[in-house]
Structure 1
Amino acid sequence: MTDRSPRGGSRILTAARAVSFAEATSFLLLLIATGIKYGADHPQGVKILGPIHGTLFLAYCALIGYLAFVGRWPRRRTVLALIASVLPVAPFFVERHWLRGDAGAADSPTAPAGPDTRPVSQPTARRS
């Protein structure tokens, strides 16, 4: 059986980092495109970036939900990571501080300590 916990080498964690970065970048570009749309009357940027950002937003929320469930994140961290999705630069913070290396694992030294922090259970291999 394979380890499905969100660790440093996990493809899910790598995807979450990439999507977090892309979502924050697309949000900033969408804000710039919105300014151009109303300031210079050129709506093409919003028409292109809107659906891209919407898809990245949904992917970010789904990946955060998955990592929070599998990694047994504290409820506060999960809520803050989801709130970060609606703030222009906050997903950069999530990627930098919670999704790098083993920061997403509850038993890592960079994970927050507290009463609602639970250790990640390791699956055991069956012996024949």
Structure 2
Amino acid sequence: MSTTAARPTTGRFTPTKLFRAVAITEAITWTLLLIGMFLKYVTETTELGVRVFGMLHGIAFVAYCVVTVVVAVDRRWSAGRAMLALFCAIPPLATVPFERRAVKQGWLGDSWRLPEGAGTSAPDRTIAWLLRNPVRGAAVGAAVVAGLTLIALIVGPPFQK
């Protein structure tokens, strides 16, 4: 096996480290959005916090969902576990307790399964390619996050007056 293929299985972007980073980022941006909402709706001083932190949280939310799908496919999570992980992005700060439980239960791991022995399903082959080509994989991931964020912006907020 070439060193290029082995690179994604070790080092900086293990399933645990990647999932932890996006789970914490999602929780931090949720906190910032809640502060922005407090400033807008309670103190009625500014809505800038909601605009700025809302956008940041939207991007972090989508990134968390994309990484959750990648990890779920790689780690062979059940549909129920994957749906629970995705649901945890909705209540404020729930991604962090889920991540801690996932680490404690061994749901994440310190190496990627797919680059070593890609499965036969289309999701397995896709995730394996992304992990074997980390620069391209990161670019594809960023493009997916940007595209889904753009769609969310076009659709608009989930609740409107």
Q: TM-score, normalised by structure 2?
A: 0.58
The answer for the alignment partner of 2:39 in structure 1 is 36
Does the residue aligned with 2:76 lie in a helix, a strand or coil? coil
TM-fit CA distance, 1:100: 6.7
Which residue of structure 2 lines up, in the alignment, with residue 117 of structure 1? none
Match of 1:19, as an amino acid? V
Counterpart for residue 55 of structure 1: 59
Quick one: which of 82, 86, 90 aligns to 2:90?
86
What amino acid sits opposite 1:27 in the alignment?
W
**Count of matched residue pairs:** 109
Distance 1:8 1:48 in 2: 35
> Is the contact made by 1:16 and 1:99 (CA closer than 8 Å) also made in structure 2?
no
- What 5-or-longer segments of structure 1 have no aligned partner? 106-119
1:55 positional shift = 0.4
User: % of aligned pairs identical?
Assistant: 31
Cα RMSD of the aligned pairs, angstroms, is: 2.8
- Normalised by the length of structure 1, the TM-score is 0.71
Structure 1 residue corresponding to 2:30, chosen from 27, 30, 49: 27
Alpha carbons of structure 1 residues 121 and 27: separation in structure 2 relative to 1, 3 Å? closer
Residues of 1 paired with 2:84 and 2:36: CA distance?
27
Q: Is the 8 A contact 2:26 2:93 kept in 1?
A: no
Whether 1:123 and 2:116 are equivalent positions in the alignment is yes
Moved over 3 A (4+): 1-5, 7-10, 99-103, 120-124
Corresponding residue for residue 108 of structure 1: none
Counterpart residue identity of residue 78, structure 2: P
Deviations 1:86-124 (A, max 9, x none): 01121011221214795325xxxxxxxxxxxxxx68836
Unaligned runs of 5+ in 2: 118-161
